[in-house]
Amino acid sequence: MMTTKIPTNISQDLQPLLKAAFAMAEEAGDIHMRYFRTHNLQQSTKLNDSDVVTIADKESEAVILNYIHTHFPDHGIISEESGRDHEDREWRWVIDPLDGTTNFAMGLPPFCVSIALEHNKEAVVAVVFAPYLKECFYAVKGAGAWLNGNPIHCSDKAEMSKAVVATGMPYDRNDNSDNNLAEISRMAFRVRGIRRMGSAAIDLCYTAAGFFDAYWELNLNRWDVAAGQLIAAEAGAIVESIRSDRNHSILASNPHLLSTMQQILSDKTI
């Protein structure tokens, strides 16, 4: 069961939409847990051996899409497994039914469902639910961000030598030398530690909550970041694009570390 609470400062128009996102996330989470750490989990690969999809991805997506088609038939959808459906509509849902699929398939806990609702291509509602960890992060534009009903805020750490940051590697890392290895090498000498959780949505939410001080990654997709970006931003983190040539390549950082993070990631002489 998800731990949630509708904050009182959310507009009446957005409250039912947040409740709908909660409902979809909980249904998806139930499906995740039904398959997690079971024997003979049905799985296959997509782009390459690093890009895994399981029956849990597909079933949780089907539940979410059915909910949207039933309750919001005029809304558009962008979803990882099924693609795009009327994506140019005023309201659209951006869904990753199971972010962290490799973790999930290996029996590792950092996985989640990520759901964002965009209005005119700007996220206004976001829910990220990690069912095994029993962590539900959510945000509403202009109203703040929460974890299990409690307000969250990014860290206020100002020293890079004490920072713990997160990152990930793109699925095309074997075929493209622009694969984040150089950035990781530069960063490793400047921070207390680097963590690789395997879920962009969780990385963004953990940056929002101050569990990480910053996070960056290259070549993500819209469904990877739509919800987490809003949650991080509403928690006080600065979220920005760091590359225009590698799909969604982003940096999320507490304000104190932002300029140093930018310099390390961009300056190959460091």
Q: What is the CATH number of the domain that holds 166?
A: 3.40.190.80
Mean pLDDT score, 188-203:
97
Is pLDDT of 262 > 60? yes
What is the CATH number for 88? 3.30.540.10
Q: 189 and 138 share a domain?
A: no
Residues 144 and 19 in one domain: yes
Report the mean per-residue pLDDT for the chain: 93
pLDDT tens across 11-68, in order? Answer: 999 999 999 999 999 999 999 999 999 987 887 665 555 556 899 999 999 999 999 9
31 and 62 assigned to the same domain: yes
Domain-located, residue 5: no
Same domain, 88 and 134: yes
The total number of structural domains in the chain stands at 2
Look-up: residue for tokens 């699929």? 101
| 2, part of any domain | no
**Residue 209 belongs to some domain of the structure:** yes
Tell me, what's the pLDDT at 179?
86
Q: Quick check: is 87 in a domain?
A: yes
Q: Is 52 helix (H, G, I), strand (E, B) or coil?
A: strand
Question: Among 93, 117, 151, which residue terminates a domain?
Answer: 151
Q: What residue spans of the chain are helical by DSSP H?
A: 15-35, 55-71, 101-106, 181-188, 200-208, 222-234, 258-266
Answer yes or no: are the C-beta atoms of 200 and 110 closer than 8 Å: no
Q: Give the pLDDT score at 2.
A: 82
Distance in angstroms (rounded) separating the CA atoms of residues 128 and 4 = 11
Q: Say if residue 119 is in the same domain as residue 34.
A: yes
125 is in which domain, residue-wise?
15-151
Query: Do residues 19 and 130 both lie within one domain?
Result: yes
Calpha distance 57→186 (Å, rounded):
35
> 144 with 186, same domain?
no
Give the integer Cα–Cα distance in Å for 183 and 180. 5
Give the closest residue to 229 by CA, choosing from 96, 71, 53, 60.
Answer: 96
Query: Which residue has better confidence, 116 or 88?
Result: 116
Q: Do 142 and 178 lie in a common domain?
A: no
Query: Given its phi and psi angles, is residue 177 left (phi above 0), alpha (psi -120 to 50 degrees) or beta?
Result: alpha
Can you give the pTM of this predicted structure? Answer: 0.94
Cα dihedral 205→211→212→213 (10° resolution): 110
Cα 88 to Cα 86: distance, rounded to the nearest angstrom: 6
Same domain, 25 and 147: yes
CA distances from 92 to 20, 220, 223, 266 (A): 13, 19, 12, 33
Statement to judge: residues 147 and 166 lie in one domain: no
Q: Is 9 inside any structural domain?
A: no
Chain segment 134-145, per-residue pLDDT in tens = 999 999 999 999
Residue-level pLDDT at 81:
77
Whether residue 253 is found in the same domain as residue 229: yes
**pLDDT at residue 24, rounded to an integer:** 98
Mean pLDDT of the 228-246 span: 95
Last-in-domain residue among 91, 122, 151? 151
Q: Is residue 1 part of a domain?
A: no
pLDDT on residue 80: 81
Strand spans (E) along 67-111: 76-79, 83-85, 91-99
Confidence of residue 123 (pLDDT cuts 50, 70, 90): very high
Cβ atoms of 121 and 223 closer than 8 Å: no
> Per the domain annotation, does 117 fall within a domain?
yes
Same domain, 145 and 19: yes
